[in-house]
Chain A
Amino acid sequence: MGLYYRRKIYDTDGTDAAFVRAVSKNVIYHQKRCPEYAALLGRQGFCASELKNIDDLYKLPPIPTLFLKNRTLYSVPEKRLLLRSATSGTGGKASHVGLDLPTVLRGAGMVLGGFMAHRLISLRRTGYIVLGYEPAPRNNMGAVKSAYAATLAAPAYRRVYALRDAGTSYELNMAGLKSALIRYAKVGVPVRFIGFPAYFLFLLKELEADGLRFRLHPKSRILLGGGWKQFFSEQVDKQSLYALSEKLIGLGGGRFKEFFGVVEHPVIYLDCPNHHFHVPAYARIIIRDTDMRPVALGVPGILNLITPIMTAMPHVSILTDDLAVLRPGSECGCGIKSPYFEILGRAGVADIKTCAAGAAELLSVTEAKK
């Protein structure tokens, strides 16, 4: 538990030894309980005894998120899962992730430590603007759950959702958001915006179009997670978003806090004042080249996330389809010493249209019918 319940959450140097021990223990635990995982590692010629120090971490074969979209690996019976999430699943395939009690307890420490280190815990009553779906039993998306979890960091004066649950469907609640903002500004409570950057920009554009401007409580915050990549390459860069926010609601870049996370790897990454994601004590990051070999700091490659946090599923080392670069902490200047990563984009064929990819959908239909 020492990795998760700690004040100095970015002390990676001081926790290297403990981290490797925890990973090694976690791997052995999963190998015993998940025969598929054991076989996978065995076929790659890996043995847990190879994990002696932090430089050995790369030897643990990473599991691609791609792989997990076709197969779900469990190390505990499914009835032991407390929380379940699914990825938003572009193209119809989604990864399913479940957390059991030990994982949830570790996660609670991680969230608490992270929020405290980033001064997100507050006792002031806060008006929430959630730029996403209102939680509903039928919605199992990880993003909905993390957005809701983020509203627990300060007691809620009120929670208003951009997509309101209307029983069987969701409706866009732009009027509700605007009137909530007017109320929050009048009452003078700090406001927290939570959601995807695209939605936040959309809200700002709406306010701008209506000629609405607010002076919100100076302790207000904008908490954004996911979806920068595809979005910012085309429309607006972060600096112009900060400027627009400053102009319309009086909250500039300093009030923004960004999250990064992937469902398959339940670790929260929070950005520093320079908007960089530093590696916390309970995770390590390896960037890999096209031959899956680790690359040096500063060299771009595939983002590989490692954490021993999960006991329900053998997601120790996850290979995302994000391209990223890891930089030494000293290059950031915020004072945090652990390295930080930048997401460069997604490894994909989005720019190239193939006839064959379209036919793939047809093939799967055909196969299903057989």
Chain B
Amino acid sequence: MNLVGGKILAAEQCGEILEGLSAGILSALFKGAPDSETVIRACDTLVRDLDTAACAELLAGIGIDGALAKSYISELRRMFSAESLRFRLRTELGESLGAVTVRTPLFRDFAVEESTRPLGVILHIAAGNADGLPAFSVLEGLLTGNVNILKLPAADGGLSVRLLAELVRIEPALADFIYVFDYSSRDVEQLRKLIAVADAVSVWGGDAAVTALRGLVPPNVKLIEWGHKISFAYASGEITEEALCGLAEHIVGTGQLLCSSCQGVWLDTADTEEINAFCERFLPILEAAQAKSPRDFGESVRYRTALEVYNAELEAFYTDSRVFKGKQCSLIARKDSVPEVAIGFGNLWVKRLPRAEILSVLRPCKNMLQTVGLLCGDSKRAALADSFFRAGAVRVCKASRMSEVYCGQPHDGEFSLRRFVKIVHSDAD
């Protein structure tokens, strides 16, 4: 689905739109985007009027249902409420967008004024791993006063376009600032045209997507990358039952699908026996969490997972690892310390990583680490967090909170709104 000027268009109509794109963009830039408060009010109305039943149905379609779907929807409501958005703007941009600060610089005898302004035009190239995320990216662009062009991911279920069309219905002044195109990543010519009118390209996606884009984006267009990240848990010393339950619930709840989802557990030990003992202790807890809130990702995923676990059992011979198999979950005790992506869906690895080796083992993964969930006593927390931050992680929290988001939270080490603005300065005298 394509969306231009608030209208949903068929693919055939897009050719013409694309030809006239730079004229449309110029007129939008000339007019200037509606202020943040207008965007905030429209969003607030959007989530207040949100049809819960329809949303639940959409979520069920991607394997999220029951209590989890309910919590997702209420989270969505909170995230998009006027209160949250105002808080985010204040936290991330400090003074509001456009507010002018006047000061006299050190060692100079003239005054300057500085203010935060939109970059101009942002092309959002969204990933398909979270339905609705593309709309969220556009919203951030609107909040910061930019003209937004969204290239939908191939797997988009249509949620993004519906949300954005609804937003324009509520606030028609936003119509000229939202373009959505349904091109495939293979439509290089069209992509080039979209990139040509943009000040910045904001890309979410895997290694391949990001690398491909680096080749397409000319030097005078800023590239804002949101690459894939991986997250882990780290256990040291005495581990409470409660902490393990929290970790298990997190693993089951996210299906290990998010960037912040735990892929595996490192133990602060060099002793294989301790790793096996941990697996024996944690497996029934993980099993119980699976049984309590089973998530169905479909038959295909069930078989794939079974194949991969069976394969890990065969591989165990070569890698000297050991598979602890539970009901719809498994733990693979390995001898090395190297971080890797788990089989997922309740199947993760457990490895050794003595505290002293954290930095040397994780350094090669710089810019790829996101969250580390800690399972340890309070006294160790600060020192461990410091080690992980040095090694490149950007969030350290209790294992149970790894995927919990809060209002005004930085994303992958940055405030995302800041990446969509520039600081301009001029003479104040």
Chain A residues packing against B (C-beta within 8 Å): 39-40, 43-44, 61, 63-64, 66-67, 70-71, 289-292, 300-302, 319, 321, 323, 345-363, 365-367, 369-370
Contact A360 B341 (CB under 8 A): yes
16 contacts between A and B (CB under 8 A): A66-B311, A71-B318, A302-B307, A321-B304, A348-B300, A351-B301, A354-B344, A355-B127, A355-B259, A356-B228, A356-B344, A359-B207, A359-B229, A362-B207, A362-B368, A366-B365
Q: How large is the interface on B (under 10, 10 to 19, 20 to 34, 35 or more residues)?
A: 35 or more
Complex Cα gap A346–B301 (Å): 10
Contact A347 B304 (CB under 8 A): yes
Q: Which residues of B contact A67 (CB under 8 A)?
A: 311, 314-315
Q: Which residues of B contact A360 (CB under 8 A)?
A: 340-341
Q: Verify if B128 is at the interface (C-beta below 8 Å from A).
A: yes
Q: Verify if B294 is at the interface (C-beta below 8 Å from A).
A: no
Complex Cα gap A70–B312 (Å): 12
Majority-rule SS of A interface residues: mixed
Nearest residue, chain A, Cβ from B260 = A355
Complex Cα gap A195–B318 (Å): 38
Which one of B259, B263, B304 has the highest number of Cβ atoms from chain A below 10 Å of its Cβ? B304
Complex Cα gap A71–B338 (Å): 20
Contact B341 A352 (CB under 8 A): no
Contact B342 A356 (CB under 8 A): yes
Nearest residue, chain A, Cβ from B314 = A67
Complex Cα gap A290–B300 (Å): 11
Contact B314 A40 (CB under 8 A): yes
Q: Tell which of A345, A361, A369 touches B206, judged by Cβ atoms closer than 8 Å.
A: A361
**How many A-B contacts at CB < 8 Å in the complex?**
135
Q: Verify if B110 is at the interface (C-beta below 8 Å from A).
A: no
Contact A354 B205 (CB under 8 A): no
Contact A352 B306 (CB under 8 A): no
Shortest beta-carbon distance, B353 to chain A, in Å?
15
Q: Verify if B2 is at the interface (C-beta below 8 Å from A).
A: no
Q: Which residues of A contact B261 (CB under 8 A)?
A: 355-356
Complex Cα gap A46–B112 (Å): 81
Given contact pairs A301-B303, A352-B257, A358 touches B206 in the complex (Cβ within 8 A):
yes
Contact B300 A347 (CB under 8 A): yes
Q: Which residues of B contact A348 (CB under 8 A)?
A: 300-301, 304
Nearest residue, chain B, Cβ from A63 = B314
Q: Which residues of A contact B207 (CB under 8 A)?
A: 358-359, 361-362, 365
Q: Which residues of A contact B305 (CB under 8 A)?
A: 290
Q: Which residues of B contact A64 (CB under 8 A)?
A: 307, 310-311, 314
Complex Cα gap A351–B344 (Å): 14
Complex Cα gap A363–B364 (Å): 9
Complex Cα gap A63–B318 (Å): 14
Q: Which residues of B contact A292 (CB under 8 A)?
A: 306, 310
Q: Verify if B212 is at the interface (C-beta below 8 Å from A).
A: no
